[in-house]
Amino acid sequence: MTRRTTAIVVGAGVAGATTALALRRDGLDVTLLDAWEPGHAAAASAGEHRILRSSHGTDELYTRLSREGRLGWLELGEQTGQELFVQCGAVMLAREGNTSWEDASRATLSRLGIPHFVAPAHELPVRLPVMDARGLAYGLWEPEAGFVYAKRATLAAIEQLRREGGTVRRGRVTTDRDEHPTLDGKRLTADVVVLAAGAWMSDLFPRTLRRMLDVVRQNVIMVAPPAGTTGYDHTDLPCWIDHGNHAYGIPAAGGHGFKAVLVWRQLSIDLERDDRIVDATSIARTRRYLSSRFPELADRPITQMAVGQIANTADTHFVIDRHPAHPHLTLVAGDSGHLFKHGPAIGRYVADVALERHATDERFRIKDRGSVSLADRPQ
Ligand SMILES: Cc1cc2nc3c(=O)[nH]c(=O)nc-3n(C[C@H](O)[C@H](O)[C@H](O)COP(=O)(O)OP(=O)(O)OC[C@H]3O[C@@H](n4cnc5c(N)ncnc54)[C@H](O)[C@@H]3O)c2cc1C
């Protein structure tokens, strides 16, 4: 195997930051580049928090990665002296008449020995008193799941990279006609070059990636729970994934209020031009959802809103592969709205692919995966 000593990683979101840290820990001289300030509001990793759960249907790879990611976040929290992961649990709400995804997740969790239990429908009003559990067959509970303070965790990985001798620089990378990445008119040269520019990868690699990716908007709304109550706090309520309603959320924590996200088809976003403002239709729709599942919150004031983006692939699998024409480049893209949780585990995985320690998994390859459609998908 060729000895590699230098690395450039483009994109200081969670994927780039954790990859840079993993490469640095392998002894490479690492530079992490971003066009903007790390943690800036338009980066997908800059949200306040992201759910970390292991339920992933029949898929063992993501289930394992999320568990490794969880340990990685706990370790990074220790190293940086910050609370990055909050173990409030997560409940997958299986709807009556269609429990196939939760059933499959349950079997996978059992196979891999990951703690979980089933709360039958009649227990849900007791366990989740603030939730209207009508139409639900059961709750699949992961007590060791929770959420990661996303922006804080991304910045912690970058801080740790600096502390361990990595370099963090500002610079907007572009690509030439042959899709070679360049900075200030010069090709990026290092033994290892990783491009992890989130949803911007579609424009950076128009020939290789654009056809595989659909970049869509994801609106987030946070509301203030009623004064004097604790039922919506992370101490009392787990994260929840309401697959049947294309919704998920995070209990109140860190002063951010109660977070609700609706995964909505057809919401496109122009990363260069669009203002990050949540539209009135999205607000009304989220309120309608709240009135059915969390009735007490339907008219509570909105305290915070955010607009993020997701780069979906047709099969919801990430892209982690070498550029077909330039094998020294490793590309990370197609987060499909579920990459954050894996954080440090994804960084390790990408670094190992870039260093040719192992080939990438078949599901992460650059290949024709059919047309992208926003089907029913958990985040
Ligand atoms: C609202 C919302 C909720 C989500 N919820 C969850 C969840 O609960 N659980 C979960 O696991 N995941 C969740 N996700 C998905 C998760 O946030 C993303 O998968 C993850 O943050 C993607 O990280 P990234 O590093 O690939 O991209 P980003 O964080 O977007 O980072 C890309 C970086 O590249 C930089 N960049 C771009 N272009 C250039 C250039 N030309 N030159 C240099 N730098 C450049 C950008 O400035 C940016 O900093 C959610 C996403 C959204 C939007």
- pLDDT by residue (tens digit) across 110-120? 999 999 999 99
Task: Evaluate if residue 175 carries a pLDDT over 60.
Answer: yes
Domain range for 284: 87-145+214-312
Domain identity same for 10 and 122: no
The residue whose CB lies within 8 Å of the most ligand 1 atoms, and thus the one to mutate among 154, 340, 349, is: 340
pLDDT higher than threshold 60 for residue 379: no
Closest residue (by CA) to atom 16 of ligand 1?
340
**202 and 242: one domain?**
no
Overall average pLDDT of the 337-358 stretch? 97
* For range 208-236, the mean pLDDT: 95
Over residues 311-328, mean pLDDT: 96
Domain assignment present for residue 220? The answer is: yes
Task: Looking at the structure, tell me whether residues 240 and 139 fall in a common domain.
Answer: yes
Question: Is 305 among the domain residues?
Answer: yes
Tell me which residues have their CB closer than 6 angstroms to ligand 1.
10-16, 33-36, 43-45, 47, 50-51, 172-173, 196-200, 204, 218, 220, 261, 308-310, 335, 337-341, 379
| pLDDT (0 to 100) of residue 321 | 98
Question: Does residue 372 fall inside a structural domain?
Answer: no
Residue 220 binned pLDDT confidence (cut-offs 50, 70, 90): very high
125 inside domain: yes
pLDDT at 371 over 70: no
Centre of ligand 1 to C-alpha 104, Å, is 28
The mean per-residue pLDDT over the stretch 163-184 comes to 97
249 with 224, same domain: the answer is yes
Residue 1: pLDDT above 70? no
pLDDT reading at 369 higher than 90: no
Candidates 18, 34, 147: which one to mutate for ligand 1, based on the most atoms within 8 Å of Cβ? 34
In a shared domain, residues 347 and 329: yes
10 and 154 share a domain? yes
Q: What is the mean pLDDT of residues 244-255?
A: 94
217 vs 180: CA distance, rounded Å: 28
Structural domain includes residue 76: no
Residue minimizing CA distance to atom 31 of ligand 1: 13
Tell me the per-residue pLDDT of 80-108, one tens digit each, with 9 for 90 and over.
Answer: 999 999 999 999 999 999 999 999 999 99
CA of 319 to the centre of ligand 1 (A): 14
- pLDDT score of 373: 54
Arithmetic mean of pLDDT, 217-242: 96
Q: Are residues 234 and 308 in the same domain?
A: yes
Q: Do the domain assignments include residue 281?
A: yes
Comparing CA positions, the residue from 284, 288, 350 lying closest to residue 318 is 350
First vs last C-alpha separation in the chain = 37
Q: What confidence score (pLDDT) does residue 263 get? A: 83
Q: Domain count of the chain?
A: 2
Which residue puts its alpha carbon closest to atom 21 of ligand 1?
A: 45
CA of 300 to the centre of ligand 1 (A): 29
300 pLDDT band (50/70/90 cuts)? very high
CA distance 343 to 157: 9
* Radius of gyration for the alpha carbons in the chain, expressed in angstroms and rounded: 20
If you measure from the C-alpha of residue 44 to the centroid of ligand 1, how many angstroms do you get, rounded to a whole number? 3
pLDDT at 375 over 50: no
Chain-wide mean pLDDT for the chain? 95
Q: What is the DSSP code string of 148-196?
A: EEHHHHHHHHHHHHHHTT-EEEE---EE-TT--EEETTEE---SEEEE-
How much is the pLDDT for 150? 98
Q: Is 90 exceeded by the pLDDT of residue 50?
A: yes
